[in-house]
């Protein structure tokens, strides 16, 4: 989720999936949720769906709201939603003392009859609150899943995690658990993404081996889940600095392809999770343009702060946003897989969001008064980072 500035340039990266967009095929429309209202404790935001048809150059704002979000402090957590159908959003809650009594307050109220609100099971909710698990939603079984955030040996001995397992939980009735035995020689493991169920899914983890140094790279491994069994598949070295270092990872899943931005934040990686031997790669066209955009973004001339990037997606589209210090606003460009700019959206100071073509000509706009946040769909409702 990103806070919108007075000047916002938004665009997308279009990538080719097995049934996605290409030079000859159509580009799927981009959907975003915008939340309008006053961003202050005790206030309520109202969420609407914005649909951007890149090929037609149109923007459409939904006539009716999707949900209302109330909160009771100045911290507004990231919303997780999927366009469905039906439109589905993850319920968030907060504990607050009112009149000397601790109350569990829900944040979301559906505003449309076809808006579906999901909530974590009670045990998973406690684990998420304690930051002990990562969680996602398995659409094939219509249940939540979880895996431990991290397993690590004591830094004061040289033992490994040999003989231990990662417990992957499926919150069916009754609850099902799968113990995936760890490969030999590991001294730490971090779960960084999950998708699907125990019958057909995966968990991507970052691992470190015994004998590694502080300068050595961790590795990525895919735990493939098939028919209630787990298979470990090595994917290669983790991106610069490790996926979970720095500002934390950001993911976009398009079909079986998982794109990720992590570590030193200067490369976008991709893993085809359905491949017989999944390997981490760095798409050339996307990263060439990404490097150029980083250069254009510049640095804060006062503090020297570098670029910051946000990575999201919608359908067959990747959304990449960078803050431009010269323009004092967020920029994101529309690219195909070769790095060609397709178009962008541009916000103005009057509260209108404009659809632009690649040449910068205005095509269509919607009015978004008092917009506070904008977010893109999460196909797996993944939470944990």
Cis peptide before 174 (omega within 30 of 0): yes
Query: Can you give the pLDDT at residue 248?
Result: 63
Q: Report the share of the chain in percent with pLDDT over 70.
A: 75
Q: Answer whether 299's CB lies under 8 Å from 326's CB.
A: no
Number of H helices, E strands in the chain: 2, 33
The pair of structure tokens assigned to 250 is: 């950001």
Query: Can you give the pLDDT at residue 73?
Result: 62
The pair of structure tokens assigned to 159 is: 């033992």
Residue range 276-302, pLDDT digits in tens:
999 999 999 888 888 887 887 776 666
CA dihedral (362, 364, 367, 372) positive or negative: negative
Distance (Å, whole) CA 176 – CA 143: 11
* CA separation, residue 347 to residues 308, 362, 365, 379 (Å): 19, 11, 9, 26
Distance (Å, whole) CA 292 – CA 219: 28
φ, ψ for residue 259, nearest 5 deg: -95, 145
Distance (Å, whole) CA 145 – CA 359: 45
Q: What contacts 250, CB < 8 A, 6 or more positions away? A: 260, 261, 262, 310, 311, 312
Residue range 124-175, pLDDT digits in tens:
988 988 889 999 999 989 999 999 998 877 655 657 888 889 999 999 999 9
Angle at 258 between CA 256 and CA 261, to 5 degrees: 175
Scan for tokens 């995936």, then name that residue: 180
- The domain spans of the chain are 2-375
Residue range 73-91, pLDDT digits in tens:
656 677 899 987 889 999 8
Region of residue 42 (left: phi > 0; alpha: psi -120 to 50; beta: else): left
Q: Is the pLDDT of residue 4 over 60?
A: no
């Amino acid at each position: 989720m990103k806070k919108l500035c007075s000047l916002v340039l938004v665009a997308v990266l279009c990538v080719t999936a097995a049934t996605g967009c290409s030079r000859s095929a159509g580009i799927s429309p981009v959907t975003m949720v915008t939340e309008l209202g006053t961003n202050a404790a005790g206030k309520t935001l109202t969420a609407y769906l914005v649909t951007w048809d890149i090929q037609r150059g149109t923007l459409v704002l939904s006539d009716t709201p999707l949900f209302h979000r109330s909160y009771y402090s100045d911290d507004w957590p990231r919303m997780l939603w999927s366009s469905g159908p039906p439109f589905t959003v993850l319920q968030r809650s907060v504990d607050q003392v009112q009149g000397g009594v601790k109350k569990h307050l829900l944040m979301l109220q559906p505003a449309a009859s076809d808006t579906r609100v999901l909530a974590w099971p009670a045990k998973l909710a406690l684990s998420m609150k304690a930051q002990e698990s990562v969680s996602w939603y398995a659409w094939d079984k219509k249940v939540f899943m979880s895996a431990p955030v991290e397993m690590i040996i004591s830094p004061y001995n040289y033992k490994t995690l040999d003989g231990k397992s990662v417990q992957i939980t499926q919150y069916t009735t009754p609850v099902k658990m799968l113990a995936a035995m760890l490969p030999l020689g590991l001294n730490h493991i971090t779960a960084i993404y999950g998708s699907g169920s125990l019958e057909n899914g995966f968990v991507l983890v970052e691992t470190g081996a015994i004998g590694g140094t502080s300068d050595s790279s961790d590795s990525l491994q895919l735990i493939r889940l098939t028919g209630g069994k787990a298979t470990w598949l090595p994917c290669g070295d983790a991106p610069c600095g490790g996926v979970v270092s720095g500002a934390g990872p950001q993911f976009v899943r398009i079909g079986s392809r998982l794109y990720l931005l992590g570590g030193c934040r200067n490369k976008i990686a991709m893993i085809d999770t359905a491949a017989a031997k999944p390997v981490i790669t760095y798409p050339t066209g996307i990263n060439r343009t990404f490097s150029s955009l980083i250069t254009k973004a510049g640095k804060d001339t006062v503090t020297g702060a570098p670029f910051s990037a946000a990575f999201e997606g919608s359908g067959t589209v990747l959304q990449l946003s960078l803050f431009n210090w010269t323009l004092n606003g967020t920029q994101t460009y529309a690219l195909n897989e070769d790095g060609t700019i397709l178009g962008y959206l541009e916000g103005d100071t009057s509260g209108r969001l404009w659809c632009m073509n690649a040449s910068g000509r205005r095509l269509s706009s919607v009015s978004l008064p008092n917009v506070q946040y904008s977010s893109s769909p999460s196909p797996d409702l993944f939470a944990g980072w």
